Structure 1
């Protein structure tokens, strides 16, 4: 079981790195650094395809292809492939430990399916030229992977504190559990809006705060902004996406932040009022404050790359904390530890021992 716990924790940490580095690759305009998949111009590494990459870059210096961008894209793929192998190993080991209540082999097997689909989304991200719907789905797939691994790691650790104070609270406890689930749904919706903002390059559509273009009701084109099946930077009719549409995307993300942030703030306050959930409540409020601060700073400082990548890391951190919150509220008692059982002695040995006694 110790190896299983370490694999789950290692996969969780690697997923966090993959999600954040993937955001960095996208924000650095390196998503098409290698325009084919899974290799780079048919080669294993950009070093093997260096001559082709230099020729393409020389023909289009301001294009998406260059040797540094190719390395960023391929490093992300190498990390994602390593994560896939780690999750497969976790699923195999989880199945072997299926009698252990902390293993949850079904979730580990489900993770294999999620990672396979995530790999396909990564392929389509490149081959379909960064379509916003595919890129946003790829982000959500990465966070789904992180959430499932967080749940597995928490369950495997067995570090769930007894919730006696909550288990006897009755109706108030059920309301808190329902509130935590609702807040998690709102968080995922807000992250989807954030992904849609980033993949449509609408993060700087509003450069002032808290208003947008000096107004709390800016001119916005919501119809074209949220038309899912379209090319990057284009409407469904093939026309250039207007500034009003980009404003609609950005402003919707801000309104979503107000709604989801308010729900998380209320939840964090409720958790902090109970001794048994004080730690997760403080963690939630701290992660929320960090994420709000990063979001505001990105607007006021015109989206510097480190801060933009940190904002994605903050979203991943909030997902982990919300999994922790819901896991704690959904587990009224610590999972039983499984101690190794002493093997029964053979009948002949038992008979000899009885004769001696």
Structure 2
């Protein structure tokens, strides 16, 4: 069984949902680049940029913008990433409006309508978090929530694509019972991946990426000095400005170290899940298990490369995008496990 169904068997809106997934990946990548390039406050106002629909480029525009925001002068290498990200995010909203309109027009039994409506509502909420990211000046709680919202949006769009793909595995009764036993394990794996992504978001939003500049030790020690109370204080006050971070070194080390430990836990659990998937006598399980293993290996390699090569933006962006791909693999595995049905005549796909 391939990943995608025959074109004639797909439901209306499949292509649009798939394109929206691609758009969401671009938006997520651009958002990560904006964050890692310290361009999150490249435009100190919202929704414009120093009062412009794009950004100030002419000398007189820059002069006027600097006068209006004397504490945040124009930096050309930071204005354009922020505004490009905003417009790409807006285009994703248009995609979801079109998807919802098509779902409403083709509504009927078995055709998802609630999910497209929920996705649109969630993207509107994401827009609000984008605004709060600027107005609350990179408050870590909002930045992390905004990042998780981007991953969530992509995951829901991918789930919608899978549903519109209209393809489910069919297995003999004896295999279905083994598959059902694997469902809670796969769900736990999904939650672990989400938790690790949240840890990664908290790490970047608190500028704890470089808190451990060496590998496999951290600051030359296996167990460095850490301040977990401050590092994971989610009730810290708002503002005035979190650009560059406000935590002390021990707090940042605690965050970074936790992300590394989380990576080990995630890797071990997903390897366990890989073995369980390989044990299923189902054609669809084997490519999913291979995809899980390959993406996991690449993600581990990128995580180590981040430290070894002193966190280049290209590697850091790739690490985030492959993390998104790992999340989509887990969503696909769970979809496969929870939608598989008993085959007729002993055949399976």
TM-score, with structure 1 as normaliser: 0.85
Partner of 1:244: 250
Of 171, 196, 207 in structure 2, the residue corresponding to residue 201 of structure 1 is 207
Contact kept in structure 1, 2:299 and 2:323, CA below 8 Å: yes
Partner of 1:338: none
1:90–1:217 CA distance, 2 compared to 1 (3 A): same
Of 127, 139, 149 in structure 2, the residue corresponding to residue 141 of structure 1 is 149
The 5-angstrom pairing of residues 263-278 of structure 1 reads: 263-274=269-280, 275-276=282-283, 277-278=285-286
| 2-structure distance, mates of 1:226, 1:244 | 12
Contact kept in structure 1, 2:192 and 2:266, CA below 8 Å: yes
Residues 304-354 of structure 1: per-residue CA shift (max 9 Å, x gap): 0100110110111111111111111111149xxxxxxxxxxxxxxxxxxxx
1:234–1:44 CA distance, 2 compared to 1 (3 A): closer
Count of residues paired in the alignment: 330
- The CA RMSD measured in Å over matched residues stands at 2.8
Contact kept in structure 1, 2:65 and 2:73, CA below 8 Å: no
Flag structure 1 segments of 5+ consecutive residues without an equivalent: 335-357
Q: CA deviation at 1:154?
A: 0.9
| 2-structure distance, mates of 1:54, 1:290 | 46
Q: CA deviation at 1:126?
A: 0.5
Flag structure 2 segments of 5+ consecutive residues without an equivalent: 1-9, 343-349
Of 80, 83, 91 in structure 1, the residue corresponding to residue 100 of structure 2 is 91
Partner of 2:31: 22
| 2-structure distance, mates of 1:180, 1:141 | 22
1:262–1:234 CA distance, 2 compared to 1 (3 A): farther
| 2-structure distance, mates of 1:54, 1:283 | 52
The 5-angstrom pairing of residues 172-211 of structure 1 reads: 172-211=178-217
- Corresponding residue SS for 2:212: coil
Deviates more, 1:1-10 or 1:215-224: 1-10
| 2-structure distance, mates of 1:53, 1:188 | 41
Partner of 1:323: 331
Contact kept in structure 2, 1:4 and 1:90, CA below 8 Å: yes
Q: CA deviation at 1:98?
A: 1.9
Contact kept in structure 2, 1:8 and 1:152, CA below 8 Å: yes
Contact kept in structure 2, 1:234 and 1:241, CA below 8 Å: no
Q: CA deviation at 1:3?
A: 5.3
Residues 224-254 of structure 1: per-residue CA shift (max 9 Å, x gap): 0011133689999xx9521000000000001
| 2-structure distance, mates of 1:267, 1:66 | 47
Of 215, 224, 230 in structure 1, the residue corresponding to residue 236 of structure 2 is 230
1:227–1:251 CA distance, 2 compared to 1 (3 A): same
1:251–1:209 CA distance, 2 compared to 1 (3 A): same
Of 122, 126, 130 in structure 2, the residue corresponding to residue 114 of structure 1 is 122
Partner of 1:309: 317
Q: CA deviation at 1:215?
A: 2.3
The 5-angstrom pairing of residues 271-286 of structure 1 reads: 271-274=277-280, 275-276=282-283, 277-286=285-294
1:3–1:53 CA distance, 2 compared to 1 (3 A): farther
1:41 aligns with 2:64: no
Q: CA deviation at 1:207?
A: 1.3
Contact kept in structure 1, 2:288 and 2:333, CA below 8 Å: yes
Contact kept in structure 2, 1:233 and 1:240, CA below 8 Å: no
Partner of 1:69: 78
Contact kept in structure 1, 2:11 and 2:166, CA below 8 Å: no
Q: CA deviation at 1:170?
A: 5.3
| 2-structure distance, mates of 1:79, 1:324 | 26
Could you say which structure has the greater relative contact order, defined with CA pairs below 8 angstroms and 6 or more residues apart?
2
Partner of 1:164: 171
